[in-house]
Protein backbone atom coordinates (compact mmCIF):
# COMPACT_ATOMS: atom_id res chain seq x y z
CA UNK A 1 0.00 0.00 0.00
CA UNK A 2 1.37 3.36 -1.01
CA UNK A 3 1.68 5.95 1.74
CA UNK A 4 0.44 9.40 0.80
CA UNK A 5 2.08 12.27 2.62
CA UNK A 6 0.20 15.56 2.82
CA UNK A 7 1.68 18.87 3.86
CA UNK A 8 -0.19 21.45 5.90
CA UNK A 9 0.40 24.76 7.63
CA UNK A 10 -0.96 26.32 10.76
CA UNK A 11 -2.93 29.51 10.33
CA UNK A 12 -2.83 31.71 13.43
CA UNK A 13 -5.64 34.17 14.16
CA UNK A 14 -5.12 36.54 17.08
CA UNK A 15 -7.85 38.66 18.64
CA UNK A 16 -7.76 40.95 21.64
CA UNK A 17 -8.42 38.23 24.24
CA UNK A 18 -7.60 35.00 22.43
CA UNK A 19 -5.38 33.44 19.81
CA UNK A 20 -6.58 30.50 17.74
CA UNK A 21 -4.84 28.12 15.36
CA UNK A 22 -6.33 26.24 12.45
CA UNK A 23 -4.73 23.69 10.09
CA UNK A 24 -4.64 24.67 6.43
CA UNK A 25 -3.65 21.99 3.93
CA UNK A 26 -3.26 24.49 1.10
CA UNK A 27 -2.70 28.02 2.32
CA UNK A 28 -3.85 29.80 -0.87
CA UNK A 29 -7.37 28.42 -0.36
CA UNK A 30 -7.54 29.88 3.18
CA UNK A 31 -10.56 27.69 3.91
CA UNK A 32 -10.44 28.11 7.66
CA UNK A 33 -10.30 31.90 7.41
CA UNK A 34 -13.19 31.90 4.97
CA UNK A 35 -15.40 30.37 7.65
CA UNK A 36 -15.40 33.63 9.61
CA UNK A 37 -18.96 34.88 10.08
CA UNK A 38 -20.32 36.49 6.96
CA UNK A 39 -23.27 38.37 8.45
CA UNK A 40 -21.24 41.45 9.32
CA UNK A 41 -18.03 43.11 8.26
CA UNK A 42 -14.76 42.00 9.81
CA UNK A 43 -11.24 43.31 9.68
CA UNK A 44 -8.30 40.99 9.09
CA UNK A 45 -4.77 42.13 9.79
CA UNK A 46 -2.27 39.98 7.95
CA UNK A 47 0.67 39.92 5.60
CA UNK A 48 0.26 40.19 1.84
CA UNK A 49 -0.23 36.47 1.17
CA UNK A 50 -1.92 36.17 -2.22
CA UNK A 51 -4.27 33.54 -0.81
CA UNK A 52 -5.96 36.13 1.39
CA UNK A 53 -7.02 38.13 -1.67
CA UNK A 54 -10.37 36.45 -2.14
CA UNK A 55 -11.36 37.30 1.42
CA UNK A 56 -11.26 40.97 0.46
CA UNK A 57 -13.26 40.58 -2.75
CA UNK A 58 -16.48 42.61 -3.04
CA UNK A 59 -18.55 39.63 -4.21
CA UNK A 60 -17.55 37.42 -1.26
CA UNK A 61 -20.57 35.84 0.43
CA UNK A 62 -21.69 38.16 3.19
CA UNK A 63 -19.46 40.95 1.93
CA UNK A 64 -15.71 41.44 1.89
CA UNK A 65 -13.44 41.30 4.89
CA UNK A 66 -11.62 44.58 5.33
CA UNK A 67 -7.85 44.33 4.97
CA UNK A 68 -5.53 45.92 7.53
CA UNK A 69 -1.84 45.60 6.80
CA UNK A 70 0.76 45.17 9.53
CA UNK A 71 3.58 47.69 9.66
CA UNK A 72 6.06 45.13 10.94
CA UNK A 73 6.01 43.56 7.47
CA UNK A 74 6.39 46.91 5.70
CA UNK A 75 9.21 47.97 8.02
CA UNK A 76 11.04 44.65 7.67
CA UNK A 77 11.58 45.14 3.94
CA UNK A 78 13.29 48.49 4.56
CA UNK A 79 15.16 47.18 7.59
CA UNK A 80 16.74 44.33 5.63
CA UNK A 81 17.90 46.74 2.92
CA UNK A 82 19.27 49.19 5.48
CA UNK A 83 21.14 46.45 7.33
CA UNK A 84 22.48 44.45 4.37
CA UNK A 85 22.88 47.08 1.66
CA UNK A 86 23.26 50.22 3.77
CA UNK A 87 20.57 51.81 1.57
CA UNK A 88 20.11 55.39 2.87
CA UNK A 89 16.48 55.75 1.78
CA UNK A 90 15.60 52.44 3.44
CA UNK A 91 17.38 53.52 6.63
CA UNK A 92 15.40 56.76 6.70
CA UNK A 93 12.15 54.86 6.12
CA UNK A 94 12.93 52.65 9.13
CA UNK A 95 13.49 55.74 11.31
CA UNK A 96 10.17 57.23 10.25
CA UNK A 97 8.25 54.02 10.91
CA UNK A 98 9.97 53.62 14.27
CA UNK A 99 8.57 56.99 15.35
CA UNK A 100 5.09 55.60 14.72
CA UNK A 101 5.87 52.48 16.73
CA UNK A 102 7.13 54.66 19.58
CA UNK A 103 3.74 56.36 19.72
CA UNK A 104 2.07 52.94 19.78
CA UNK A 105 4.17 51.91 22.77
CA UNK A 106 3.02 55.02 24.62
CA UNK A 107 -0.67 54.23 24.10
CA UNK A 108 -0.43 50.49 24.60
CA UNK A 109 -3.07 49.41 27.13
CA UNK A 110 -5.32 52.44 26.66
CA UNK A 111 -8.91 51.97 25.53
CA UNK A 112 -9.80 52.09 21.85
CA UNK A 113 -11.24 55.61 21.99
CA UNK A 114 -8.10 57.06 23.56
CA UNK A 115 -5.82 55.20 21.15
CA UNK A 116 -7.87 56.56 18.25
CA UNK A 117 -7.62 60.11 19.56
CA UNK A 118 -3.84 59.97 19.90
CA UNK A 119 -3.43 58.41 16.47
CA UNK A 120 -5.53 61.11 14.86
CA UNK A 121 -3.54 63.85 16.56
CA UNK A 122 -0.02 62.47 16.32
CA UNK A 123 0.22 59.51 13.95
CA UNK A 124 -1.94 60.68 11.06
CA UNK A 125 0.25 63.68 10.17
CA UNK A 126 3.29 61.39 10.20
CA UNK A 127 1.57 58.87 7.93
CA UNK A 128 0.57 61.61 5.47
CA UNK A 129 4.13 62.90 5.47
CA UNK A 130 5.56 59.40 5.07
CA UNK A 131 3.40 58.66 2.04
CA UNK A 132 4.45 61.88 0.32
CA UNK A 133 8.11 61.20 1.12
CA UNK A 134 7.95 57.62 -0.20
CA UNK A 135 6.42 58.79 -3.47
CA UNK A 136 9.10 61.44 -3.79
CA UNK A 137 11.89 58.92 -3.20
CA UNK A 138 10.41 56.39 -5.59
CA UNK A 139 10.50 58.95 -8.38
CA UNK A 140 14.30 59.14 -7.96
CA UNK A 141 14.90 55.39 -8.22
CA UNK A 142 14.88 52.88 -11.05
CA UNK A 143 11.94 50.53 -11.34
CA UNK A 144 14.03 47.45 -10.55
CA UNK A 145 15.78 48.91 -7.52
CA UNK A 146 15.24 46.87 -4.36
CA UNK A 147 14.28 49.98 -2.43
CA UNK A 148 11.68 50.75 -5.08
CA UNK A 149 10.18 47.31 -4.54
CA UNK A 150 9.99 47.91 -0.80
CA UNK A 151 8.32 51.27 -1.39
CA UNK A 152 5.85 49.73 -3.85
CA UNK A 153 4.94 47.05 -1.31
CA UNK A 154 3.76 49.79 1.06
CA UNK A 155 2.25 52.26 -1.39
CA UNK A 156 0.23 49.62 -3.24
CA UNK A 157 -1.45 48.75 0.09
CA UNK A 158 -1.49 52.20 1.62
CA UNK A 159 -5.18 52.16 2.55
CA UNK A 160 -4.61 48.89 4.41
CA UNK A 161 -1.47 50.25 6.11
CA UNK A 162 -3.38 53.38 7.17
CA UNK A 163 -6.41 51.55 8.55
CA UNK A 164 -5.14 51.51 12.14
CA UNK A 165 -5.50 55.30 12.16
CA UNK A 166 -9.30 55.06 12.01
CA UNK A 167 -9.89 52.13 14.36
CA UNK A 168 -8.55 52.18 17.90
CA UNK A 169 -9.15 48.45 18.25
CA UNK A 170 -6.45 47.66 15.70
CA UNK A 171 -2.78 47.30 16.44
CA UNK A 172 -0.18 48.78 14.13
CA UNK A 173 1.12 45.30 13.37
CA UNK A 174 0.07 41.67 13.69
CA UNK A 175 3.06 40.81 15.87
CA UNK A 176 0.83 39.10 18.43
CA UNK A 177 0.04 36.34 15.93
CA UNK A 178 3.64 36.28 14.69
CA UNK A 179 4.92 35.68 18.23
CA UNK A 180 2.59 32.73 18.76
CA UNK A 181 3.65 31.17 15.47
CA UNK A 182 7.30 31.54 16.44
CA UNK A 183 6.85 28.98 19.21
CA UNK A 184 5.58 26.50 16.63
CA UNK A 185 8.48 27.22 14.29
CA UNK A 186 11.14 26.88 17.00
CA UNK A 187 10.05 23.36 17.91
CA UNK A 188 8.92 22.14 14.52
CA UNK A 189 11.59 19.43 14.37
CA UNK A 190 9.94 17.83 17.40
CA UNK A 191 6.41 17.87 16.00
CA UNK A 192 6.75 17.75 12.24
CA UNK A 193 4.13 15.04 11.78
CA UNK A 194 0.51 15.15 12.96
CA UNK A 195 -0.38 11.70 11.62
CA UNK A 196 -3.61 12.68 9.85
CA UNK A 197 -5.91 15.58 9.05
CA UNK A 198 -7.73 14.95 12.33
CA UNK A 199 -4.37 14.94 14.13
CA UNK A 200 -3.65 18.33 12.60
CA UNK A 201 -6.96 19.68 13.89
CA UNK A 202 -6.25 18.33 17.36
CA UNK A 203 -2.77 19.86 17.34
CA UNK A 204 -4.29 23.20 16.34
CA UNK A 205 -6.78 22.94 19.23
CA UNK A 206 -3.95 22.29 21.71
CA UNK A 207 -1.93 25.21 20.32
CA UNK A 208 -5.01 27.41 20.75
CA UNK A 209 -5.50 26.43 24.39
CA UNK A 210 -1.81 26.89 25.22
CA UNK A 211 -1.78 30.31 23.55
CA UNK A 212 -4.96 31.29 25.44
CA UNK A 213 -3.33 30.33 28.74
CA UNK A 214 -0.28 32.48 28.02
CA UNK A 215 -2.47 35.37 26.88
CA UNK A 216 -4.28 35.24 30.24
CA UNK A 217 -1.00 35.18 32.23
CA UNK A 218 -1.45 31.54 33.23
CA UNK A 219 1.34 28.97 33.32
CA UNK A 220 0.29 26.57 30.52
CA UNK A 221 1.92 23.57 32.19
CA UNK A 222 0.20 24.23 35.53
CA UNK A 223 -3.14 24.79 33.80
CA UNK A 224 -2.87 21.65 31.68
CA UNK A 225 -1.79 19.44 34.60
CA UNK A 226 -4.69 20.68 36.73
CA UNK A 227 -7.26 20.32 33.96
CA UNK A 228 -6.19 16.79 33.02
CA UNK A 229 -6.49 15.74 36.67
CA UNK A 230 -9.96 17.27 37.10
CA UNK A 231 -11.41 16.48 33.68
CA UNK A 232 -12.64 12.89 34.33
CA UNK A 233 -14.90 13.98 37.22
CA UNK A 234 -15.83 17.45 36.00
CA UNK A 235 -19.48 17.92 34.90
CA UNK A 236 -19.70 18.19 31.10
CA UNK A 237 -22.21 21.04 31.29
CA UNK A 238 -19.63 23.10 33.23
CA UNK A 239 -16.66 22.32 30.97
CA UNK A 240 -16.27 26.03 30.19
CA UNK A 241 -15.05 26.55 33.77
CA UNK A 242 -11.79 24.87 32.77
CA UNK A 243 -11.06 27.21 29.86
CA UNK A 244 -7.96 29.34 30.53
CA UNK A 245 -9.85 32.65 30.89
CA UNK A 246 -12.22 31.13 33.51
CA UNK A 247 -9.92 28.61 35.15
CA UNK A 248 -9.02 28.66 38.82
CA UNK A 249 -6.55 26.25 40.43
CA UNK A 250 -8.24 23.32 42.14
CA UNK A 251 -7.44 24.62 45.63
CA UNK A 252 -8.96 28.02 44.82
CA UNK A 253 -12.02 26.43 43.19
CA UNK A 254 -12.65 24.23 46.26
CA UNK A 255 -12.31 27.22 48.60
CA UNK A 256 -14.85 29.15 46.54
Interval 204-256: pLDDT, tens = 788 888 888 888 889 999 999 999 999 999 998 999 999 888 898 876 555 55
Residue 143 has pLDDT above 70, yes or no: yes
Neighbours of 13 (CB within 10 A): 19
Strand-pairing partners, residue 13, are 20
The terminus-to-terminus CA distance of the chain in angstroms comes to 57
Mean pLDDT of 67-88: 91
Q: Which of 202, 249, 219, 183 shows the shortest CA–CA distance to 8?
A: 202
**Given this model, what pLDDT does residue 142 score?**
95
Output the pLDDT for position 161: 95
Q: Distance (Å, rounded) from C-alpha 38 to C-alpha 119?
A: 29
State residue 1's pLDDT score.
47
pLDDT digits (tens, 9 = 90+) for 167-216: 998 889 877 777 777 777 777 677 667 777 787 788 778 888 888 888 88
Predicted confidence (pLDDT) at residue 27 exceeds the cutoff of 50: no
Structural contact between residues 146 and 85, judged by C-beta atoms closer than 8 angstroms: yes
DSSP character string of the chain: -PPPP---EEEEEE-SS-EEEEEESSGGG-TTGGGS--SS--EEEE---GGGGGGG-TTSTT-PPEEEE-HHHHHHHHHHHHHHT--HHHHHHHHHHHHHHHHHHHHTTS-HHHHHHHIIIIIHHHHHHHHHHHHHHHTTS-TT-HHHHHHHHHHTTHHHHHGGGG-TTS-SS-HHHHHHHHHHHHTTTTS---SSHHHHHHHHHHHHHHHHHHHTT--HHHHHHHHHHHGGGS-GGGGGGGSTTT---HHHHHH-
Residues 32-61: tens digit of each pLDDT:
455 544 444 577 766 666 666 666 667 777
β-pair type (43-46, 66-69): parallel
pLDDT at 98 over 90: yes
pLDDT, tens digit, 9 for 90 and up, residues 103-138? 999 999 899 999 999 999 999 999 999 999 999 999
Amino acid sequence: METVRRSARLVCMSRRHCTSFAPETTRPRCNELDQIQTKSQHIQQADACAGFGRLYEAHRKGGPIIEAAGWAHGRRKFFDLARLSKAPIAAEAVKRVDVLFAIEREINGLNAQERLRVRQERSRPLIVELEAWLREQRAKLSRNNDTTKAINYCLSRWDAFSRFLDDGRLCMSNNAAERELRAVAVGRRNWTFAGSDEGGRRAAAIYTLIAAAKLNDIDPQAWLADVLERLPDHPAKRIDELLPWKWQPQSAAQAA
